[in-house]
Amino acid sequence: MRIAMIGTGYVGLVSGACFADFGHQVTCVDKDESKIAALHRGEIPIFEPGLDALVATNVKAKRLDFTTDLKQPVADADAVFIAVGTPSRRGDGHADLTYVYAAAREIAASLTGFTVVVTKSTVPVGTGDEVERIIRETNPAADVVVASNPEFLREGAAIRDFKWPDRIVVGTDDERGRKVLGDIYRPLSLNQAPVMYTARRTAELIKYAANAFLATKITFINEVADLAEKVGADVQEVARGIGLDNRIGSKFLHAGPGFGGSCFPKDTRALIKIAQDYDTQLRIVESVLAVNDNRKRAMARKVAHAVGGNLRGKTVAVLGLTFKPETDDMREAPSIPLVTGLLDMGAKVRAHDPVGIEQAKKELPEIAYYDDPYDCATGADAIVLVTEWVQYRAMDLDRLKQVMASPVVVDLRNVYRPEEMAAHGFVYESVGRPS
């Protein structure tokens, strides 16, 4: 199969490289010349474990190429995937579809022969209808099917999620469209990933409903964590105790500082807007968003509480800044409202992150950054662990205690064991566990 992938962000680049790895002929297209030039030099514009090697292998095998001009790749393609950004629109929280519609218009002009145009970006219900309308208006002679094929990969585990998905959702009622997408994903049937064929609008809603449900699960356990702290229970055991029930499932029940990232906050906001457009209210999702925003802000107060109530003049060392480990992505990271809150309360803040410092500096320019976590902790009145990078799990606790001015650790990811921290003489607070 010949594939044109429009957009070389997370979804576009990972999907393009993985499709090429399946044996398809893939051209990734992006308007950003510097990005394409970098990709030609073998430089990957995002941090994603394994992606550089996957891209290099497939470029070398001549199955993967990059260009700024979509004309030829679209003309040659059996399927054109639209994987451009759909950020939150400034002001109202709707998904901004400018890039999707611009891509549709450009694609339309270059289509030749039968082509399936597939939206892979997360797009509101009904976007496929509009993409189809634009294409038919721009090029009435085009032999085209517009399908939805949402992507469920996670940053940091993107390649694994793409190659071993729980399911593949193909949204089109058209048999020719289903056949082309079925052929593209055939290599995954070896991994026994079920392909679910459905209508286009249903596929579009599946994506939002999945993300909103996962965000709800996280927010639910975060609220249970607050209660567990009050009643003297352990939220991790509660999560395990409920998660062993297959109807509930054990994943995404890890309590923490609130969800961040480029997807859950944006997609829950957009879903609420979609519902409003159709005179429907998704009250649970609305609450999830509000509770999560409050929670992120409340984390600074938790730190203040741990140091005895007053942060003025205190030095706080933040370990981990990215919204989760194995990424340099700072979008909507819980560390941002946390650090802002700490500064507002008069604390001096310093931070360490294994890969996120460059991105973090753009969001939080006013704090001090360290390349080594022990240097960061030296002289600190408290440490706050915000992102559960694996290297923090293996920290030398005696050394850490020695370098700190006072041994207070606020662990927002429950990385350490309370008994262990107590044994090392730390004042230790975590999330939803007796301290």
User: Which of 3, 5, 253, 415 is close enough to bind ligand UGA by CB under 6 A?
Assistant: 253
Residues 358-365: contacts with CB within 8 Å, 24+ apart? 358/328, 359/322, 359/328, 359/329, 359/330, 360/321, 360/322, 360/330, 360/335, 362/330, 363/330, 363/333, 363/336, 364/321, 364/335, 364/336, 364/339, 364/340
Residue 263 falls in the annotated catalytic set: yes
Contact criterion met (CB below 8 Å) for 235 and 223: no
Asked if residue 218 binds ligand UGA (CB under 6 A), the reply is yes
Cα separation of 283 and 295, whole Å? 18
Cα separation of 68 and 60, whole Å? 20
Considering only residues 110-149, where is the footprint of ligand UGA by CB under 6 A? 122
Closer residue to ligand UGA, CB minimum distance, 80 or 255 = 255
Using the contact rule CB under 6 A, the part of the chain among 1-9, 97-105, 150-158, 367-375 near ligand UGA is: 150-158
Q: Which of 18, 28, 263, 376 is catalytic?
A: 263
Asked if residue 260 binds ligand UGA (CB under 6 A), the reply is yes
- Coil/strand/helix, residue 5: strand
Contact criterion met (CB below 8 Å) for 162 and 144: no
User: Which of 138, 226, 233, 252 is close enough to bind ligand UGA by CB under 6 A?
Assistant: 252
End-to-end CA distance of the chain: 57
User: Which of 155, 234, 353, 429 is close enough to bind ligand UGA by CB under 6 A?
Assistant: 155
Closer residue to ligand UGA, CB minimum distance, 264 or 392 = 264
Closer residue to ligand UGA, CB minimum distance, 178 or 207 = 207
Let me know how many helices (H) and strands (E) the chain has, helices first: 19, 14
- Coil/strand/helix, residue 41: coil
The number of angstroms, rounded, from the C-alpha of 142 to the middle of its chain's C-alpha atoms is 35
Considering only residues 177-216, where is the footprint of ligand UGA by CB under 6 A? 211, 214
Cα separation of 47 and 49, whole Å? 7
The number of residues that bind ligand UGA (CB under 6 A) is 21
Using the contact rule CB under 6 A, the part of the chain among 41-49, 59-67, 262-270, 339-347 near ligand UGA is: 262-270
Asked if residue 163 binds ligand UGA (CB under 6 A), the reply is no
Tokens of 391: 């290297």
User: Which of 101, 152, 370, 374 is close enough to bind ligand UGA by CB under 6 A?
Assistant: 152
**Smallest separation (angstroms) from ligand UGA to the CB of 346:** 27
**Smallest separation (angstroms) from ligand UGA to the CB of 425:** 29
Closer residue to ligand UGA, CB minimum distance, 47 or 259 = 259
Tokens of 212: 């909103």
Asked if residue 99 binds ligand UGA (CB under 6 A), the reply is no
User: Could you list the active site residues?
Assistant: 263
Which residues form the interface with ligand UGA (CB under 6 A)? 122, 151-155, 211, 214, 218, 252-254, 256, 259-261, 263-264, 267, 323-324
